Amino acid sequence: MNLIDKYGKSEIIRPDDFCMVKEKMSPRRANPELADRRRDVLVRAGYAEVLEKGIQATTLDSVVARAGSSKGGALYYFSTKERLLSGVLEWLLRQLNQTLDEVLRAQDTARGKLVSELEVLFHSAEVNRKLYLVFFDFVALGTRQERFRALFRGFFETCHRRDKEIVELGIQEQQFRRVNPQDAAATIRALVDGYCLQWLVGPGDVPIEAYRDRCRAVLGAYLLR
């Protein structure tokens, strides 16, 4: 399940999606596909709990209840709350990376890739509020615990590589100014996350599209010839 299907449709992850799974999870079954599926159910239930309640209020017991699991079965996959939260963050970042990779592959030009990326990252108020509520909740863990810091580091390295390739292509196509691709990639990420954070905590009557357009304008002035 992608967080966003291209950038015109969305498969929104809803907390209620996890109330439908009632299969008991037993560690005694050795079917790898079944094990992966059961682990995935727990991770998605963990995401829904964090989205609904926040990290502090999420417990292994609440995730087990939402997933329709048994406590013993859940502990087979995640022995602690920290390990479960790590699985949730890893899954979330992987989903976002996969979506961005798919969207960029559909475009041939640097400008097309950058526009498509911004459409995904400023997709809609509903999708972005869910994504960034969870994302920023995990940031606090990332500043204190190496397990989560490493996941964020890997994610931002992938974002940096992707955006650096877009900038290099734009320079090659003579559509972008000859900026430093390393610096430009870092700037793109900083602008996106900064504007999304401003929108998330800002006045409720300002639509997310306004922040997207501001981000576009700044990047246009910075990159376009």
224 has which bridge partners? 176
Tokens 């609904």 -> residue: 52
- The CA-based angle 59-154-33, given to 5 degrees, is 60
pLDDT digits (tens, 9 = 90+) for 146-204: 999 999 999 999 999 999 999 999 999 999 999 999 999 999 999 999 999 999 999 88
Per-residue pLDDT averaged across 37-63, rounded? 93
Which of 13-22, 52-61, 83-92, 173-182 is the least confident region?
13-22
Q: Where are the domains of the chain?
A: 4-223
pLDDT of residue 52 exceeding 60: yes
State the sign of the Cα–Cα–Cα–Cα dihedral 216, 183, 155, 150. negative
Separation of alpha carbons 64 and 49, rounded Å: 10
Q: What pLDDT sits at residue 11?
A: 41
pLDDT of residue 17 exceeding 80: no
Contact (Cβ atoms closer than 8 angstroms) between residue 208 and residue 147 = no
pLDDT digits (tens, 9 = 90+) for 111-158: 999 999 999 999 889 988 998 889 999 998 999 899 999 999 999 999
Q: What pLDDT sits at residue 66?
A: 93
| DSSP line for 162-201 | HHHHHHHHHHHTT-B----HHHHHHHHHHHHHHHHHHHHH
Q: What pLDDT sits at residue 19?
A: 38
176 CB-near residues (< 8 Å, 6+ apart) = 110, 167, 170, 223, 224, 225
CB-based contacts of 64-70 (< 8 A; 24+ apart in sequence): 66/15, 66/18, 66/19, 67/18, 67/21, 67/25, 67/41, 67/42, 68/19, 68/21, 68/22, 68/23, 68/24, 68/41, 69/24, 69/25, 69/38, 69/41, 69/42, 69/45, 70/24, 70/25, 70/26
Q: pTM value? A: 0.83
Yes or no: domain 4-223 corresponds to CATH 1.10.357.10: yes
pLDDT range class, residue 29, cuts 50, 70, 90: low
pLDDT digits (tens, 9 = 90+) for 63-103: 999 998 888 888 888 999 999 999 999 999 999 999 999 99
pLDDT of residue 20 exceeding 80: no
Q: What pLDDT sits at residue 25?
A: 47
Q: What pLDDT sits at residue 33?
A: 80
CB atoms within 10 A of CB 162: 18
pLDDT of residue 2 exceeding 70: no
Separation of alpha carbons 205 and 207, rounded Å: 6
Separation of alpha carbons 18 and 28, rounded Å: 23
pLDDT of residue 23 exceeding 50: no
Q: What pLDDT sits at residue 15?
A: 40
State the sign of the Cα–Cα–Cα–Cα dihedral 197, 198, 204, 206. negative
pLDDT of residue 8 exceeding 60: no
